[in-house]
Amino acid sequence: MKVLVQRSLNSSVSVDDKIVGCIDKGLVLLVGFTHTDTSYDIDYLVKKVVNLRIFDDENGIMNKNILDVGGSVLSISQFTLYADTKKGNRPSYINAMGGENAINLYNEFNDKLSEFIKVEKGIFGADMKVSIVNDGPVTIILESR
């Protein structure tokens, strides 16, 4: 499982020109799964996301987590995180989990995350337009394995 984390001032996701999720200060999470991912991977990355200290404290040092600053999460499914570009110029997505298994894990991830923090999300598998005001910019890649 991979999660690309972006610290955000405000962000939104639209499907068919309709906003389906939006946040102010918080984190945008691009979330991808591979075939071997399980609930263990989800638990590990939920804990990591919630405790990741990438918000500034009073001294301008990244020392606070999302809970400390009262932020929200915008979670977007992103199978292209598992793109393989080793051969040629057209990415292969064979390592990305698809279908019902990926939907179930994505929903489980968001449900567990929402036990700690407000979570807005996109629509799995939809053609989404994501608008992100990356704060910093701060972008971090988390992997469960």
Query: What local confidence, expressed as pLDDT, does residue 54 receive?
Result: 98
The per-residue pLDDT for 92 is 96
Any catalytic annotation for residue 33? Answer: no
Point out the catalytic residue in the list 34, 55, 78, 109. Answer: 78
Q: Which entry of 80, 116, 124, 139 is annotated as an active-site residue?
A: 80
C-alpha 127/C-alpha 124 separation (Å) is 9
Q: What is the pLDDT of residue 145?
A: 86
Domain residue ranges in the chain: 2-143
Spatial neighbors of 108 by CB under 8 A, at least 6 apart, are: 39, 42
Per-residue model confidence as pLDDT tens digits over 77-93: 999 999 999 999 999 99
Distance between CA atoms of 32 and 79, rounded to whole angstroms? 5
Annotation marks residue 36 as catalytic: no
Fold held by 2-143:
D-tyrosyl-trna(Tyr) Deacylase; Chain: A; (3.50.80)
Residue 121 has what pLDDT?
A: 97
Residue 38 designated active-site: no
What stretches in the chain show pLDDT beneath 70?
Answer: none
Both structure tokens of 38: 């399980």
